[in-house]
Amino acid sequence: MEKVINVGIVGMGVVGTGVAKILLNQGRLLSERTGTRFVLKTVVDLDWERERGVDLTGVQTATDFEVLVTDPEIDIIVETVGGIEPAFTMVRRALAAGKHVVTANKALIALKGQTLFREAQAHGVELRFEASVGGGIPIIKSLREGLVANKIINMYGIINGTSNYILTRMHRDGLDFDAALREAQTRGFAEADPTLDVGGGDAAHKLTILASLAAGGFVDFNAIPVEGITELTALDINFAKDFGYVVKLLAIYRFSEEKLDLRVHPTLVPGDHLLAAVNNELNAVFITGDYVGDTMFYGPGAGQTPTASAIVSDLVDLAQIIQSGKPASIPTINPEKQVALFSLEEITNRFYLRLFTLDQPGILAQIAGVLGRYAISISSVVQLETHGEDNYVPIVLLTHEASEKAMSKAIMAIKEFPFVRPDILRLRLFK
Amino acid sequence: MEKVINVGIVGMGVVGTGVAKILLNQGRLLSERTGTRFVLKTVVDLDWERERGVDLTGVQTATDFEVLVTDPEIDIIVETVGGIEPAFTMVRRALAAGKHVVTANKALIALKGQTLFREAQAHGVELRFEASVGGGIPIIKSLREGLVANKIINMYGIINGTSNYILTRMHRDGLDFDAALREAQTRGFAEADPTLDVGGGDAAHKLTILASLAAGGFVDFNAIPVEGITELTALDINFAKDFGYVVKLLAIYRFSEEKLDLRVHPTLVPGDHLLAAVNNELNAVFITGDYVGDTMFYGPGAGQTPTASAIVSDLVDLAQIIQSGKPASIPTINPEKQVALFSLEEITNRFYLRLFTLDQPGILAQIAGVLGRYAISISSVVQLETHGEDNYVPIVLLTHEASEKAMSKAIMAIKEFPFVRPDILRLRLFK
């Protein structure tokens, strides 16, 4: 006999509407594959004037979230409101009321996950979040279940589609940052206020989630060093290209027994690495496990139907758990364990250093002298003859592995030179 | 309280030993993540003289498979014998005895799956096979669970590591097929008898499994058109490169409401497609779902520890099912449904056609004439001036979309020309 799972959605924006579309249009396929009929019972939103492109005949519509929580027939609530409030209060309330919850809300899981997972545990329900990282890519499931036998050694994620679109246009077509951003906005790949995307905050939210899963305990979002792509110029992208690299905004996870090395920053990725071929608004997470070796998971990181596809996979998993009558034996993230992170100062990297200097003799020697004093060894240098508008010429250096602390000091010292312009850019190389 | 799952392994070759290694070395991690202690209770093999690089102290060793089947404590049997017999008899016997089974055996699932899934169903147990396709890549789980909301539109798999290694060496370093194969054998990426790998049979086994999962019913392995890479020459790889393509052995799944279009053959993949960047012995499956869009799953397709990683993920899933006391609600493959396939003659493709002709005037016109007669339209031609050893010159044509049937007839007609050498090569372009 076919089993039934009743679903409620709060937040009928782009993603919530996508979930409704799948539940309404793909019902037969889901029922064939899972033996379960997923019924979209109630959808909650404040605005019922807007045309959503989905026929909600037979579905109860409401404006009050309590309708979902107090309906004993609703098995799972999908939260697609986004942002911290009122989403946090709603999810917490739903869990406390004994409802399983599925969300795509990365900020919520990254910043409030600890509280929410405790709430879920206390009430014997599940909080699922496959869509919160990598959109339609089943990356949470792959990490949590597919690679369950592995200690995760490294992860490198291209997990902000806006930034990747901008960087792709800069790399392929020589656009500068502002032009590429405007184009991303026009094409719907960037918000009117793109700060969270191009500043690295969104990627850091997602890294918090991936790292918490991989490490089996909570990571403090605020302890992750984050740098966005806003300082990158077309010139830098081109220099990197000439050196054989593609610049990508990477979310990085590097395991050590002592602490985790987590960060988000633009990174020079070797041109022949698979991550270098991940272009436009697409996402990918490259994961190395101690037994499996190198793997990569690629796909659309956002968008109505990919995100909804991930949410529905959570619904199917939860249906199985509900029908078995037992909680899942694989916990999501242990809310009682905190994982320590390295500060940026504690780690080493290979660096890309770009500066502008007046075109005078002996300048490169003086800069190299400063780097040498801080035990930073240069692996390549390019100094161009062409002058900028202001008589400054660019110099670009790639270094061997050096400490972040030493590099910060060296940059401060270099800035003291009267012939150096203050806009020195430091980037990091993939390792 | 910690739950215990007792595991038995039959076949302590490379992969079986890998599973033992994970269960013995990664026990604490697995227990932390899953709340379950996985105990390797008994391992069965005929040869107990060989050194395996794993300490089996405390593990029962046996030579008789019945020891596993008749032990009421054993919850799951891992079959890593390989091949059809005696693996088939063993797996069937285990299922009939009420044991869950995990296997990495693609030939077994592809050729005997229907019988085995019936057996499993009849006895209320599970037969899992994550490691049978794509080695350590969680591709079965991703397809079955992660993308459960999607009708699968297309799949393109690089799922034979041996062939991919050979093609990579031919493409990058200009080796001919024989030299690349010898190197693959030396480096352990090819068997002494490489027929199943380079002939496409292994990829077809895996495609049978992927297609059966995606289509929700059984696919007849013998109905899949299969062509290997043995006819490819360094010259062809180079021509393809000049046209902007990389030749990959692809396992192809294309959905239509009428029938499935499944095949395995060398394919010209556009150089900027992500699949073109999957090199050496690595595997990847590119999947398009109707809601998720384009995704790709990449990783090691073989090897001791990657394959074992996949097998252990099946063990963890089964532990959950065993502990819930209910069968999984998502069936693996429905053994009662057969899926119809197009024959190669029924489909259309863009073609790469390479032939050698004597260097006489008017030859290209005559060949183009034949193609035109069969409504095959040419998109590019290259005719080289350099002569081969035997006064024949190569001509390469790329065509627009044309029917396979028409192309077969055209090739037969072209072979009639006295100035054409009989070794005409037809390849297909990615679509």
ipTM computed for the complex: 0.96
Percent residues over pLDDT 70 in chain B: 97
Alpha helices in B174-303 (DSSP H): 177-186, 195-198, 201-215, 234-242
pLDDT class of A388 with cuts at 50, 70, 90: low
A305 contacts in chain B (CB < 8 Å): 291-293
Between A201-215 and A106-122, two packed helices, what is the crossing angle to 10 degrees?
A: 30
Taking 90 as the threshold, does the pLDDT of residue A336 lie above it?
no
Task: Kindly report, residue by residue over B45-68, the tens digit of the pLDDT.
Answer: 999 999 999 999 999 999 999 999
Pair (A34, A174) in one structural domain: no
Q: Which two tokens stand for residue A379?
A: 């692996």
Per-residue pLDDT tens for B251-293? 999 999 999 999 999 999 999 999 999 999 999 999 999 999 9
Same domain for A169 and A127, yes or no, is no
- In this complex, do B26 and A306 lie within 8 Å of one another by their Cβ atoms? no
pLDDT, mean of residues B232-256: 97
pLDDT at A420: 96
Find chain A residues with C-beta within 8 A of B283's C-beta: none
Residue A249 is part of which domain span?
A: 139-300
pLDDT above 90 for B316: yes
User: What is the structure's pLDDT at B325?
Assistant: 78
Domain with A128 in it: what CATH number? Answer: 3.40.50.720
Q: Which residue has the higher pLDDT, B360 or A377?
A: A377
Same domain, yes or no: A267 and A150: yes
Residue type, B401: E
Average pLDDT score over residue span A346-369: 94
**pLDDT band at residue B187, thresholds of 50, 70 and 90?**
very high
Examine the domain organization and report whether B46 and B104 are in the same domain: yes
Whether residue B79 is found in the same domain as residue B164: no
Mutate to test the interface with B, among A15, A129, A309, A312 (most CBs of B within 10 A): A309
Tokens for A164, please give them.
């990747």
- Check: CB of residue B26 under 8 Å from CB of residue A292: no
Report whether pLDDT(A64) > 80: yes
Question: Which pLDDT score is estimated for A327?
Answer: 63
Nearest to A34 among B295, B300, B329 (CB): B329
A110 and A122, same domain (yes or no): yes
* Packed helices B304-324 and B14-25: angle between N→C axes, nearest 10 degrees: 60
Task: Establish if A339 belongs to a structural domain.
Answer: no
Categorize the per-residue pLDDT at A402 as very low, low, confident or very high, splitting at 50, 70 and 90: very high
pLDDT category at B337 given cuts 50, 70, 90 is confident
Specify if B336 maps to a domain: no
Asked if A430 contacts A244 with a C-beta cutoff of 8 angstroms, the reply is: no
The C-alpha atoms of residue B44 and residue B266 are separated, in whole angstroms, by 39
Same domain assignment for residues A192 and A247: yes
> Nearest CB to B326: which of A305, A313, A323?
A323
Q: Domain holding B254: CATH number? A: 3.30.360.10
Q: Tell whether B107 and B47 lie within a shared domain.
A: yes
Which pLDDT value is given to residue B327?
64
Nearest by CB to residue A298, choosing from B296, B305, B309, is B296
The enclosing H or E element of B39 equals strand B36-44
Contacts of B360 (CB under 8 A, 6+ apart): B419
* Confidence band, pLDDT 50/70/90 cuts, at residue A262: very high
User: In which band, very low, low, confident or very high, does the pLDDT at B387 lie, cut at 50, 70 and 90?
Assistant: low
Q: Which residues of B touch A18 (CB under 8 A)?
A: 291
Looking at residues A281-294, what average pLDDT do you find? Answer: 98
Q: What pLDDT sits at residue A325? A: 78
Asked, for residue A290, whether it belongs to a domain, the answer is yes
Nearest chain B Cα to A290, which residue? B305
Residue A332: inside a domain: no
Do A286 and A406 lie in a common domain? no
The alpha-carbon gap from B145 to the nearest alpha carbon of chain A, in Å, equals 6
The verdict on residue A329 lying in a domain is: no
d(CA B8, CA B409): 55
Contacts of B22 in chain A (CB under 8 A): 149, 291
Is the residue at A331 inside a domain?
Answer: no
- Per-residue pLDDT at A67: 98
Q: Which alpha helices (H) appear in B127-160, and where do they start and end?
A: 139-141
Q: Does one domain contain both A52 and A127?
A: yes
Same domain, residue pair B292 and B145: yes
pLDDT band at B242 (very low <50, low <70, confident <90, very high): very high
**Partner-chain contact A149 B316, CB within 8 Å:** yes
Distance from the Cα of A141 to chain B's closest Cα (Å) equals 7
Give the residue on B whose Cα is nearest the Cα of A3: B329
pLDDT higher than threshold 60 for residue A331? no
Examine residue B332 and state whether it is found in any structural domain, yes or no. no
A330 domain residue, yes or no: no
- In this prediction, residue A54 has a pLDDT band, given cuts at 50, 70 and 90, of very high
* B431 a catalytic residue: no
Chain A's closest residue to B330, CA to CA, is: A34
Closest-CA residue of chain A to B1: A329
User: How sure is the predictor about A79, in pLDDT bands with cuts at 50, 70 and 90?
Assistant: very high
Q: Within this chain, do residues B120 and B239 fall inside the same structural domain, yes or no? A: no
A42 or A2: whose pLDDT is higher?
Answer: A42
Of the listed ranges B157-171, B259-273, B376-390, the one predicted with least confidence = B376-390
Cα of first residue to Cα of last residue in chain A, in angstroms, is: 54
Domain final residue pick, A266, A300, A334 = A300
CB contact under 8 A, A320 and B328: yes
> Number of folded domains in chain B?
3
Known binder of ligand: residue B292? no
Percent of chain A exceeding pLDDT 70 equals 97
pLDDT band at A407 (very low <50, low <70, confident <90, very high): very high
Q: What is the pLDDT of residues B391-412, one digit of tens each?
A: 899 999 999 999 999 999 999 9
Per-residue tokens: B114: 């229907």
